[in-house]
Amino acid sequence: MADSLVTRTLTIEDRDEAVILFGPRDQHLRALRDAFAVKAVYRSGELRIEGTAEAAEQFERALQQVRQVARKQGKLDTKDVTGVIEVIRGGTNRGTGSVVATEGGRNLRTRTDGQGRYVQALQSHDVVLCVGPAGSGKTYLAVAWAVSLLRSKQVRKIVLVRPAVEAGERLGFLPGDLVAKISPYLRPLYDALADMMEPETVKKHMESEVIEILPLGYMRGRTLSHACIILDEGQNATVEQMKMFLTRMGTNSKVIVTGDMTQTDLPRTVRSGLADAVHRLRDVEGLSIVYLDQTDIVRNPLVTRIVKAYEDDSHRGRKPSA
């Protein structure tokens, strides 16, 4: 017996948004419709969807993901739509995408559609910029991906980098050797590594410089080949520092930049290098920009509600009272 058909209706009142969302001559809409075997007709600000319950649900999820990308970027490319379709239909959608196995044999998996798109971007691009809120897994998945590349011998080295804004990058004024100076600023990267590898393995790789953890200022003048290079807290890099970092990439290397635009520690008069990069580099071939949001947060559910409250105030331009 054939599955019964259901009908769903989505409201898209903004005609300009619909034009971007559906693409030239409705090519994006046709791609989504064909991928999930549904009928979809847009009239008078409403998109009417007809198909099996599963197909209609997948189509709606894909459309909402595409809509999110379009709103963030202000445009939509065929590759954006194709990427979302592959995530929803393929092995990297909710909770099914294995990223890397830890030394203890535990598989780390993506848990949201946004994380699935992120992993797909990591698999298919040499440079990935990921923007998202705290708890969305942007740094954790980047480190997991780097470890998987190292284990499979696709790279020979992992370099983890953070701007030490709190220290003004003037680490020479702090007591102790380099590791002692930067450890407080790079603790989240150590924590992520500790989840992927046994402590002895991490120690061995750091002693042999297979894994390096550095402040951003120490990257100047270097060119790194056969390496996976991750810049965490990229919103705290200046435009000049971001350019410097992205041009450290040598032969057969991967570069990942993660950051949260709402948590910059730069002076108000200084433009964030990450904000500049996602705008300046949005059309560069071979580079992918992924946006995560509150729906991708996998910490305590209360964190999602807290992030949403701050984002809502930010969008309204409100400032907290003293």
212-223: per-residue pLDDT in tens?
A: 988 888 888 899
User: Given pLDDT bands bounded at 50, 70 and 90, which one contains residue 87?
Assistant: confident
Tokens of 15: 């005609």
Domain closes at, from 41, 64, 89: 89
Q: Whole-angstrom Cα distance, residue 72 to residue 219?
A: 30
Type of residue found at 172 = G
171-194 pLDDT tens trace: 444 445 555 656 666 777 788 888
Map residue 137 onto helix, strand or coil.
Answer: coil
Residue at 322 is within a domain:
no
Tokens of 54: 């599963």
Q: Please indicate, yes or no, whether residues 152 and 220 belong to a single structural domain of this protein.
A: yes
Q: Please indicate, yes or no, whether residues 124 and 253 belong to a single structural domain of this protein.
A: yes
Mean of the per-residue pLDDT values of the chain: 82
Predicted local distance difference test score (pLDDT) of residue 321: 47
Predicted local distance difference test score (pLDDT) of residue 62: 86
Residue at 321 is within a domain:
no
| Angle subtended at Cα 70 by Cα 66 and Cα 73, rounded to the nearest 5 degrees | 135
Q: Please indicate, yes or no, whether residues 136 and 255 belong to a single structural domain of this protein.
A: yes
Q: Please indicate, yes or no, whether residues 51 and 109 belong to a single structural domain of this protein.
A: no
Domain closes at, from 30, 60, 89: 89
Q: Please indicate, yes or no, whether residues 200 and 300 belong to a single structural domain of this protein.
A: yes
Domain closes at, from 54, 89, 124: 89
Predicted local distance difference test score (pLDDT) of residue 175: 45
Q: Please indicate, yes or no, whether residues 62 and 125 belong to a single structural domain of this protein.
A: no
Tell me the mean pLDDT in the region 185-206. Answer: 83
Residue 65 vs residue 136, higher pLDDT: 136
Q: Please indicate, yes or no, whether residues 176 and 144 belong to a single structural domain of this protein.
A: yes
Q: Please indicate, yes or no, whether residues 74 and 196 belong to a single structural domain of this protein.
A: no
What is the pTM for the complete model shown?
Answer: 0.69
pLDDT(95) > 60? no
Of these ranges, 4-8, 89-93, 194-198, 224-228, the one predicted with the greatest mean pLDDT is 224-228
- CATH number of the domain that residue 83 is part of: 3.30.1370.10
Residue at 247 is within a domain:
yes
pLDDT(129) > 80? yes
Q: Please indicate, yes or no, whether residues 132 and 199 belong to a single structural domain of this protein.
A: yes
Number of domains in the chain: 2
Domain that holds residue 32: 5-89
Q: Please indicate, yes or no, whether residues 143 and 83 belong to a single structural domain of this protein.
A: no
* Percent of the chain clearing pLDDT 90 (strictly above): 34
With the CA atoms of 183, 187, 192 and 194 taken in that order, what torsion angle do they form, in degrees rounded to the nearest 10? 60
Taken in order 200, 202, 207, 209, the sign of the CA dihedral is positive
Q: Whole-angstrom Cα distance, residue 249 to residue 245?
A: 8
Residue at 167 is within a domain:
yes
Q: Please indicate, yes or no, whether residues 18 and 42 belong to a single structural domain of this protein.
A: yes
Q: Residue 236 — φ and ψ, nearest 5°?
A: -95, 5
Residue at 253 is within a domain:
yes
Map residue 247 onto helix, strand or coil.
Answer: coil
Q: Please indicate, yes or no, whether residues 71 and 166 belong to a single structural domain of this protein.
A: no
Residue 87 vs residue 155, higher pLDDT: 155
User: Given pLDDT bands bounded at 50, 70 and 90, which one contains residue 228?
Assistant: very high
- CATH number of the domain that residue 145 is part of: 3.40.50.300
User: Given pLDDT bands bounded at 50, 70 and 90, which one contains residue 92?
Assistant: very low
User: Given pLDDT bands bounded at 50, 70 and 90, which one contains residue 94?
Assistant: very low
Predicted local distance difference test score (pLDDT) of residue 54: 86
Residue at 84 is within a domain:
yes
Tell me the mean pLDDT in the region 275-300. Answer: 87
Which DSSP helix (H) or strand (E) runs through 87? helix 78-89
The residues, any chain, with a CB within 8 Å of residue 79's CB and separated by 6 or more, are none
With the CA atoms of 154, 140, 79 and 283 taken in that order, what torsion angle do they form, in degrees rounded to the nearest 10? -90
238-283 pLDDT tens trace: 999 999 999 999 999 999 999 999 888 899 899 999 999 999 998 8
